[in-house]
Chains A and B, each alone.
Chain A
């Protein structure tokens, strides 16, 4: 018993440094962001008070610091003014809608990844070569992926444009302006994002596949099940752990999409392909509205937390 106690102490001791870092760099910022979202901080003024308490600062201090922040001496405002503004902000709703579109259509890349994994899980000589070909986009940084797809989809000089014209799918005077479209730009972004992500899912599933219990598969084949039955009733259930990981990385990937959007469209045209993470960045660092940006971050955080907790609870319930 005392030994067990000692072990536990040692475990905490070893965990301590990373826990401190985790608290400092992950937990604390979450609460600080929550706090910031109640303020109208511009990122410069020394004193940061929630919007509803700002009148306290204005009554006692009229120094340059306060005046630079543009602190107003109006009647007290609600601490949730940022959220009220979000509610009436069209761009916020467009961004949220786009995030949900990402969530739905980006997950399709998980199926592609699964299909690729099943396809390549064979012992053929060329398989590893093709595997690495498909894995390639995963190695690129998303900035590179975005740039490549941006060129590919470019409406005047793009490769896709050229190919469509050569194949006479597109007339000489027509243009395939996917990224210029107010309705379809997000589709272009998701396709680009799915390219490396399918490769990532493929690798995760390949790892899962190599852990399958051969004897179960062989027994099933001897019992004469069809290939589809084998896949549906035996392989997929055995891939469950991989599927859980794939689902979570896909959800997170869809919700935090930022880099590709920033590079390929910048959220445009006119915010029609904006997503929460990018909109948060623009409000915070381009418009100097740290409080408003924090409110967007809080909403994004809540959405992610809700979805992921719901999913994890569901899976753990299924396992029991």
Chain B
């Protein structure tokens, strides 16, 4: 017995000595990352090499965990034994942890780089007046459309207002194509319509409060936004069997020329077939109410420092490094994504990245997408509701009532 505890004492003393020694000599930095797909990993390694070259005294450890597991596991390690830096999403998903005081404010890291970032990006990382997150990468959503089909239908320019948009839809319909393609076999593509219409009709603050659980889904304002969508559905703007198509199958309708436009995230632009080069273009979701400042949907990935991190000084060094335009450019170039730092350049030959970068930089607010901004349960009921609504637009009231009932139960108010 005695012997065993002596051994334990000796080994823990040795461990203590070793770890103290290491801390003195080098200084550690532990990073947990959820970006596990090969291209993201490769890009991250490239950026990390640069950081290491600048900070030879810091001993960096990176734990890459696959996306889905990460989302589950973070809730156990973040309160107990967090790393020094972790990746996460901006917006409400982060607010959940900020409210629990698990995230370190980083206003000092932000101060020197503040001018480099757009309004929308800054809003998405600020909670109660303090900045907590460093955005590393984002991408834009909007309409991908066939220029040739628009011309054939007599639509000379991309619609900028809702009147122009509905006019274009009518002309396209008359020309014999499905005006707007969508596939809701997985329900999420429908949520983009809700996000954009609510943002355009009721504005960023209303939309974000609603999704955070502080609004009412049965509010007449919400109904007004949904009404515009209902009109499109009733006019036959969407494919009849959207509910049986995946988002890729819906994209195929666009490539085949059976449909004229598609509200999607920029990842769809990497799927454009070579023979359509030059025929597919992008326009942002049109303005509905000129009095509502324009905001965009831009799912943003961020880095943050857990409140209980052990090496906060090193973590801040890393975040400052990641905020630089060169670092963001290097990382995002390799992934065909956009850099929240507006001084970072995106591929000048990529029309979609150029247009996206412009609209996100100007945006007055960036939402993160319905299923990131709302609680998972509300999001599920909502997205199933949108699919039902797209098949039966007359059921709008019952769909909104279901969402409201779920919101009440989840948010307890």
Q: Which residues of A contact B (CB under 8 A)?
A: 43-44, 64-65, 67-68, 72, 74, 90, 153-157, 175, 177-180, 182, 265-266, 268-271, 282, 286-289
Contact = CB atoms under 8 A, between A and B. Distances in A.
A180 to B, nearest CB: 4
Contacts of B384: 268, 270-271
B359 interface: no
Given A65-B79, A175-B241, A268 B380 contact: no
A64 B100 contact: yes
Interface stretch (B33-41, B183-191, B321-329): B183-191
B376 A286 contact: yes
Contacts of B210: none
B388 A175 contact: no
Interface string B354-395: 000000000000000000000011001000110110011000
> What are the 4 tightest A-B residue pairs by CB atom distance, in nearest-first order?
A177-B241, A269-B243, A155-B241, A180-B244
A282 B252 CA distance: 28
Contact of A155 (B102, B184, B245, B380): B245
B252 A157 contact: yes
A287 B100 contact: no
Contacts of A44: 72, 75-76
B75 A268 contact: no
A269 B388 contact: yes
Given A68-B100, A269-B388, A282-B380, A154 B184 contact: no
Given A64-B79, A266-B185, A286 B102 contact: no
B391 A156 contact: no
Using C-beta atoms within 8 Å of the partner chain, give the interface range for chain B. Answer: 20 to 34
A163 to B, nearest CB: 17
B241 A265 contact: no
7 contacts: A157-B249, A177-B244, A180-B241, A268-B187, A269-B243, A269-B388, A270-B384
B242 interface: yes
A286 B239 CA distance: 28
Contacts of B377: 287, 289
B253 interface: yes
A268 B387 contact: yes
B240 A180 contact: yes
- A interface SS class: loop
A265 B76 contact: no
A155 B75 contact: no
Interface string B251-269: 0110000100000000000
Contact of B72 (A43, A67, A175, A289): A43
Given A268-B384, A268-B387, A286-B376, A68 B79 contact: yes
B244 A153 contact: yes
B376 A269 contact: no
B276 to A, nearest CB: 18
B412 interface: yes
Contacts of A288: 376
A266 B245 CA distance: 11
B249 A156 contact: yes
A175 B252 contact: no
Nearest to B308: A64
Contact of A287 (B76, B243, B376, B392): B376
Contacts of B242: 180
A126 to B, nearest CB: 38
A45 to B, nearest CB: 9
A282 to B, nearest CB: 7
B82 to A, nearest CB: 11
Contact of A156 (B102, B253, B387): B253
B241 A270 contact: no
Nearest to A153: B244
A287 B187 CA distance: 15
Given A74-B412, A175-B241, A270-B187, 10 more contacts: A154-B244, A156-B239, A157-B252, A180-B245, A182-B391, A266-B185, A266-B186, A268-B384, A270-B384, A270-B387
A40 B100 CA distance: 20
